[in-house]
Amino acid sequence: MHPWAHFRNLLVALAFLTPLAAQANPSRPELVIGLSQFPTILHPSIESMIVKAYALGFVHRPITAYDADWKLACLMCTTVPTVENGLAKTKPDGGMTVTFTLPADARWADGQPVTTDDVLFSWNVGKHPQSGVANAGIYRSITAIDTGADKKTFTLHLAKATGTYNVLTDFRVLPAHVEKAAFAEPGEYRKRSQYMAAPTNPGLYNGPYRVTEMVTGSHVTLEPNPHWAGKAPAFSRIVLRTIENTSALQAALLAGQVHMIAGEMGLPLDQAVSLANRLPPGYSAQFKPGLVYEHLDVNPAHPALTDPRVRRALLHGIDRHAISREMFGGKLALADSGISSLEPIYSGAAKRYGYDPRRAAALLDEAGWKQMGPGPRRNAAGQPLVLELGTTAGNHSRELVQQVIQAQLRQIGVEIRPFTEIPRTFFADKVTKRAFTGMVLYSWFGTPGQVPRSTLHSGFIPKAENNFSGQNFTGYANPKMDALIDALDAELDPAKRQQLWADLQALYAEDLPALPLFFTTAGFITPDWLKGLRPTGHDAPTSLWVTEWSAEGKVAAQR
């Protein structure tokens, strides 16, 4: 990019920012949070975007979630059910029953109570093959739901006993009284949902805040839910401001036009580290290693990528240690699969792919891609080994990594054609609809101990017939992986589960359905007066605990 074009981008981004001088009630101030992406839809179950999860954290409660201590907690229930407390029981047929109770005072922001009617409706949406939900597995694993007369207690009947029987993070409760009409034609639900058609409808939200304004590509405004019965939030208004150019996002913080930059979807690590070294007084940087899995999804329909030898060669051809060392100060932990070494289920026995261009060249030769002269390798039919590599536009770090990968793979005879696309279309079209022809670079936010059914099981490949439900965007299909996932879901014995996890990681390393790059570290840039924010390091965003945030001292001096 020409330097003047970059400067114009900064001016355009800053021109849309409103000054913070016009504060709300000083005793309950406004908080403006800078983000580098905009959520394409706020439906809790449709599409998978980290920025959407962050926005929803303020306004919508999952039933359970892992907290900052990586312990399972109730957010829309009263007690986490366990076998020990009697709320979870195995059945003679090999299944389980698990009983939850919704909080008695839980209400949607239009005043309607959250009830088991909503639970039943959400289950029907989630398990329908045409609804287009991202993670249908959790709904399809439930064979029946019994509800109590109190409209608050419900018992799930699971087809099989599973070690994650009480993890309902992805079972998102939807408001039946608002959404039922939109679901009359399930194949059209994605387009007709009120989360898409009328995102400021208060009946869509049951968290401490509700959405009162949503300007596509610009900002989402949140105000307190008047029917929230929990601890009152500290801020009278929260504005989620999107500035997709991350250099402009930094400039906005330093100019006082946003108060903080979220670690979940704010600055790439290299920029966060650089900014942390030059923060003015009154700001702090906090870095949290975690389960953010940066990787390359591959399209196995490509004539080269269908061969696992080519995928292995590509990984051998990328010097991930050098990228971590030179670009990120060594703060990126190299990934072997989607399982981080921070997790107890991690296995160090799986095959690892170090930087080895000679081995990469040998694998490409074996796969029939020969170096026949200048330019990329070619197969016997004369086709060149050319791969597209896409990522999110405006993410300076990813764009640099993309360029480094392009240069490194050129050394082994692979030509990379990079492209970028704004996040909301990149995820909605290129990724979710599996419209990429080569590879795409992005990240997953992981849940501790989460079985990767939605991302690796062949039953969850998004396609037109299932309205692009599922998150297996590579189209990976291996009966051995399916069997391992099924076994993991059904196994309760900790030692046997550990072996199954080791087998899964070994198979992942052999097949490479995606090319693992790094587990990254999130950088949170906050004002010193903001207290109570605790990074989690996994897919439950800090925003879920916004009621623990407070503004202590110097509030009147906000810029």
Please check whether residue 466 lies inside any domain of the structure.
yes
Residue 40 pLDDT > 90 = no
What was the pLDDT predicted at 12? 37
Write the DSSP string, 143-155: EEEEE-TTSSEEE
**Cα angle value 136/141/145 (rounded, 5°):** 105
Distance CA 391, CA 406 (A): 13
The DSSP secondary-structure symbol of 181 reads G
Mean pLDDT (the chain, rounded): 91
Inter-residue contact 470 to 134 (CB < 8 Å): yes
Inter-residue contact 327 to 476 (CB < 8 Å): no
Residue 24 pLDDT > 70 = no
Element housing 519 (H / E): strand 514-527
Please check whether residue 2 lies inside any domain of the structure.
no
Inter-residue contact 468 to 429 (CB < 8 Å): no
Inter-residue contact 36 to 242 (CB < 8 Å): yes
Do 352 and 315 share a structural domain?
Answer: yes
At residue 149 the predicted structure's pLDDT band, cuts being 50, 70 and 90, is very high
Distance CA 396, CA 246 (A): 7
At residue 378 the predicted structure's pLDDT band, cuts being 50, 70 and 90, is very high
Q: Decide which of 445 and 206 is more confident.
A: 206
Q: For the chain, percent helix, then strand, then coil, each to nearest 5? A: 30, 20, 45
Strand pairing report for 386-392 and 439-445 = parallel
Please check whether residue 316 lies inside any domain of the structure.
yes
What was the pLDDT predicted at 493? 87
What was the pLDDT predicted at 18? 39
Q: Quote the tokens at residue 273.
A: 């580290």
Please check whether residue 3 lies inside any domain of the structure.
no
Strand pairing report for 386-392 and 550-551 = unpaired
The CATH number of residue 312's host domain is 3.10.105.10
Do 356 and 325 share a structural domain?
Answer: yes
Distance CA 454, CA 468 (A): 12
Distance CA 205, CA 174 (A): 9
The CATH number of residue 533's host domain is 3.40.190.10
The CATH number of residue 112's host domain is 3.90.76.10
Computed on alpha carbons and rounded to an integer, the radius of gyration of the chain in Å comes to 24
Q: Minimal CA–CA distance to 354: which of 304, 326, 313, 413?
A: 313
Element housing 35 (H / E): strand 30-35
Distance CA 284, CA 279 (A): 7
User: Per residue in 220-244, pLDDT tens?
Assistant: 999 999 999 999 999 999 999 999 9
Helix (H, G, I), strand (E, B) or coil at 199: coil
Helices (H), 219-319: 246-254, 269-276, 308-316
Do 54 and 96 share a structural domain?
Answer: no
Please check whether residue 352 lies inside any domain of the structure.
yes
Distance CA 266, CA 65 (A): 22
User: Per residue in 7-22, pLDDT tens?
Assistant: 334 333 433 343 343 3
Please check whether residue 20 lies inside any domain of the structure.
no
Helix (H, G, I), strand (E, B) or coil at 11: helix
User: Per residue in 84-136, pLDDT tens?
Assistant: 999 999 999 989 999 999 999 999 999 999 999 999 999 999 999 999 888 88
What was the pLDDT predicted at 47? 83
Do 173 and 213 share a structural domain?
Answer: no
At residue 286 the predicted structure's pLDDT band, cuts being 50, 70 and 90, is very high
Distance CA 40, CA 1 (A): 27
Residue listed under structure tokens 């072996």: 499
Residue 492 pLDDT > 90 = no
Do 494 and 407 share a structural domain?
Answer: yes
Do 218 and 182 share a structural domain?
Answer: no
Q: Decide which of 194 and 137 is more confident.
A: 194
Helix (H, G, I), strand (E, B) or coil at 111: coil
Do 296 and 147 share a structural domain?
Answer: no
At residue 421 the predicted structure's pLDDT band, cuts being 50, 70 and 90, is very high
Distance CA 332, CA 348 (A): 18
Q: Minimal CA–CA distance to 262: which of 239, 229, 233, 294?
A: 239
Distance CA 353, CA 439 (A): 18
Q: Which of 128, 154, 186 is the last residue of a domain?
A: 186
When pLDDT is averaged across residues 327-353 and rounded to a whole number, the result is: 91
Helices (H), 344-395: 357-366
User: Per residue in 296-311, pLDDT tens?
Assistant: 999 988 989 999 999 9
Do 102 and 124 share a structural domain?
Answer: yes
What was the pLDDT predicted at 300? 81
How deeply is 529 buried, as exposed, middle or buried, from its count of CB atoms within 10 A (0-12, 13-18, 19+)?
A: middle
User: Per residue in 177-210, pLDDT tens?
Assistant: 999 999 999 999 989 999 999 999 999 999 999 9
Inter-residue contact 334 to 324 (CB < 8 Å): yes
Q: How many CB atoms lie within 10 A of CB 499?
A: 13
What was the pLDDT predicted at 20? 42
**Using CA of residue 85, residue 149, residue 160, residue 488, what is the dihedral sign?**
negative
Helix (H, G, I), strand (E, B) or coil at 518: strand
Q: Quote the tokens at residue 163.
A: 């070690």
Element housing 94 (H / E): none
Do 240 and 121 share a structural domain?
Answer: no
Inter-residue contact 187 to 465 (CB < 8 Å): no
Please check whether residue 18 lies inside any domain of the structure.
no
Q: Quote the tokens at residue 553.
A: 């001292």
Distance CA 268, CA 543 (A): 19
- Give the structural domain span for 223: 27-60+207-282+528-558
Do 514 and 404 share a structural domain?
Answer: yes
Q: How many CB atoms lie within 10 A of CB 185?
A: 11
Q: Quote the tokens at residue 112.
A: 């309607």
Please check whether residue 192 lies inside any domain of the structure.
no
At residue 553 the predicted structure's pLDDT band, cuts being 50, 70 and 90, is low
What was the pLDDT predicted at 16? 39
Distance CA 119, CA 176 (A): 8
What was the pLDDT predicted at 420? 95
When pLDDT is averaged across residues 253-278 and rounded to a whole number, the result is: 93
Instruction: Render the burial of 202-220: b for 16+ CB within 10 Å, e for the rest.
Output: bbbbbbbbbbeebeeeebb
Distance CA 445, CA 53 (A): 10
What was the pLDDT predicted at 27? 56
Do 495 and 373 share a structural domain?
Answer: yes
Q: Which of 156, 186, 216 is the last residue of a domain?
A: 186
Do 323 and 268 share a structural domain?
Answer: no
Residue 556 pLDDT > 80 = no
Q: Quote the tokens at residue 360.
A: 């990469």
Inter-residue contact 425 to 519 (CB < 8 Å): no
How many residues appear in the chain? 559
Distance CA 56, CA 264 (A): 13
Inter-residue contact 378 to 369 (CB < 8 Å): yes
When pLDDT is averaged across residues 409-426 and rounded to a whole number, the result is: 94
The tally of domains found in the chain comes to 3
